[in-house]
Amino acid sequence: MRPRKKLKSRLSNTTKIMTINTKTGRLFIENKAASDVAKEFGTPCYVYSKNSIKTNFNRFKDAFGERKNLVCYAVKANSNIAIIRILADLGSGFDIVSGGELSRVLAAGGDPSKTVFSGVGKTHAEIHYALEQKIKCFNVESESELHRISTIARELGVEANISLRVNPDVDAKTHPYISTGLKENKFGVDVDDAMRLYKIAAKLPNIEPTGIDCHIGSQLTEIAPMRDAALKMVELTDALIAENIVIDHIDFGGGLGIQYQDETPIHQELFVKMLLEAMGSREQEILIEPGRSIVGNSGLLLTTVEYLKHGPNKNFIVVDAAMNDLARPSLYNAYHHIDSIIEEKNRPLKRYDIVGPICETGDFLGKDRDLCVNEGDVLAIHSVGAYGMTMSSNYNSRGRAPEILIDDTRAHVIRDRESIEDLFSNEQIAP
């Protein structure tokens, strides 16, 4: 089966944002031809669908019905302020892991009172800043952090709302680098130690325990581990309430996977239904922290074929995108579907590795792909809306790609391409 036809079938099960015109063979993002985007803005460039982002968020929101909830978009997935603004306008909350991400939320018009602050290494300055902005809650990940927040809150004369991020010791069955809920992971506090820490928190000055939090990993495609974690959180909540520790919300985290290759993702509605069943008649506000499942399949990376290189054992497509633009294949050996933006019929396929110009053997975007290409063609790398641009770098002194938002037929630049001058604008030659 031709790779593009397989992709078309996959995407039709979610949101139809990437479609192939059957007459011309051209790839469209919403109603904008990918070839027109590449011509206008150059390559490499990231391209996102506004409609897809909105649709994916609303599927979570609508699934809760009248049940009290807060969908907190995980900013780390894609932190462009234009995307944050789209979600803020829909009423989204935000899950942040740095002071920089909080600044992005504020710059985009996001509500700090709907923002939760996660992460194991919050600095003194970040905690101070977050308290000044009156965020909804800190997801606390250690006893030391709990005491630090108390000290800073006391200095400022404010109350700090906290949840403990509880590590439920559940195997998320995902890549080990993005598994976060096992005893050997750095995240959260051990579930067996949570009660002790909540009792400490209840007595600390300027600390108000208001919630409980967990997050077992990313790119999750099985519902069972998520259900196990949810039930543990509900059980612990009941135990805390029995100890007169009031819990106003339960944050079940995020991590829902998407389809990169042949995965079967968990539908938003099924995930929410599972949470509602786990909660039963309990009335605490439900928080979730989706990121990848909102923006992942909403983005493409367009890249131009610079050279075709044929060897005795391997054929290579050398493109103008590289591991600095998209790190996931090199970092995780992650799969991203790759095809030409214009389908070439009745031409033989050849097997290639798709590689970039960076001086690393690990600089690849795809391996052993059957493609029909010529030098100068434009390829589309799919499912890059999450952990694409946010993980990019300037390695080999390469400027980062622009980001383009498609709204029906309109294309908006939401990040300019970095110039050579941008690369060293903050550097100085010592006297």
Q: Report pLDDT digits (tens) over 390-420.
A: 999 999 999 999 999 999 999 999 999 999 9
Q: What per-residue confidence (pLDDT) applies to 18?
A: 79
Helical axes 124-132 vs 99-107, angle rounded to 10° = 30
Least confident range of 79-83, 172-176, 302-306: 172-176
Model confidence at 14, pLDDT cuts 50, 70, 90, reads: very low
Q: What per-residue confidence (pLDDT) applies to 101?
A: 98
Q: What per-residue confidence (pLDDT) applies to 21?
A: 81
Please compute the mean of the pLDDT values over residues 85-107 and round it to a whole number: 98
How far is 396 from 403, CA to CA, in rounded Å?
20
Please compute the mean of the pLDDT values over residues 40-61 and round it to a whole number: 98
Model confidence at 185, pLDDT cuts 50, 70, 90, reads: low
Residues 168, 194 contacting (CB under 8 angstroms): no
Please compute the mean of the pLDDT values over residues 188-192 and round it to a whole number: 88
Model confidence at 179, pLDDT cuts 50, 70, 90, reads: very low
Look at residue 216 and give its three-state secondary structure. coil
Instruction: Name the β-bridge partners of 179.
Output: 217
Q: What per-residue confidence (pLDDT) applies to 17?
A: 73
| Tokens (6 digits) for 329 | 């294949």
Please state the pTM of the whole predicted model. Answer: 0.92
Q: For residue 22, is pLDDT > 90?
A: no
Q: Convert the pLDDT of each residue in 266-281 to its tens digit.
A: 999 999 999 999 999 9
- When comparing pLDDT for 182 and 293, which is higher? 293
Strands of 204-340 (E only): list them: 207-213, 249-251, 285-288, 299-310, 315-319, 338-340
Q: Convert the pLDDT of each residue in 325-369 to its tens digit.
A: 999 999 999 999 999 999 877 778 999 999 999 999 999 999 999
Give φ, ψ of 382 to 5 degrees: -90, 165
Q: What per-residue confidence (pLDDT) applies to 3?
A: 40
Q: For residue 305, is pLDDT > 90?
A: yes
| Tokens (6 digits) for 131 | 């308290």
Please compute the mean of the pLDDT values over residues 282-289 and round it to a whole number: 97
Helical axes 50-63 vs 81-89, angle rounded to 10° = 40
CA 401 from chain centre, in angstroms, equals: 18
Domains and CATH numbers, the chain: 3-49+296-423 (2.40.37.10), 64-290 (3.20.20.10)
| Tokens (6 digits) for 410 | 């309109």
Q: Convert the pLDDT of each residue in 238-255 to its tens digit.
A: 999 999 999 999 999 999
- Residue 63: its H or E element: helix 50-63
Q: Assign residue 30 a region: left if phi > 0, alpha if psi is -120 to 50, beta otherwise?
A: left
Q: What per-residue confidence (pLDDT) applies to 183?
A: 54
- Reply yes or no on whether 72 is catalytic: no
Q: What per-residue confidence (pLDDT) applies to 173?
A: 54
How far is 168 from 183, CA to CA, in rounded Å?
8
Residues 33, 26 contacting (CB under 8 angstroms): yes
| Tokens (6 digits) for 308 | 């075709």
Model confidence at 19, pLDDT cuts 50, 70, 90, reads: confident
Q: Residues of 391-411 as b/e, b for ≥16 C-beta within 10 angstroms?
A: ebeeeeebbbbbbbbbbeeeb
Q: For residue 174, is pLDDT > 80?
A: no
Please compute Rg for the chain using Cα positions. 23
Q: What per-residue confidence (pLDDT) applies to 181?
A: 42
How far is 379 from 118, CA to CA, in rounded Å?
36
Q: What per-residue confidence (pLDDT) applies to 187?
A: 74
Q: Which percentage of the chain shows pLDDT scores above 70? A: 92
Determine which one of 45, 137, 214, 359 is catalytic: 359
User: Across the chain, what does the average pLDDT equal?
Assistant: 92
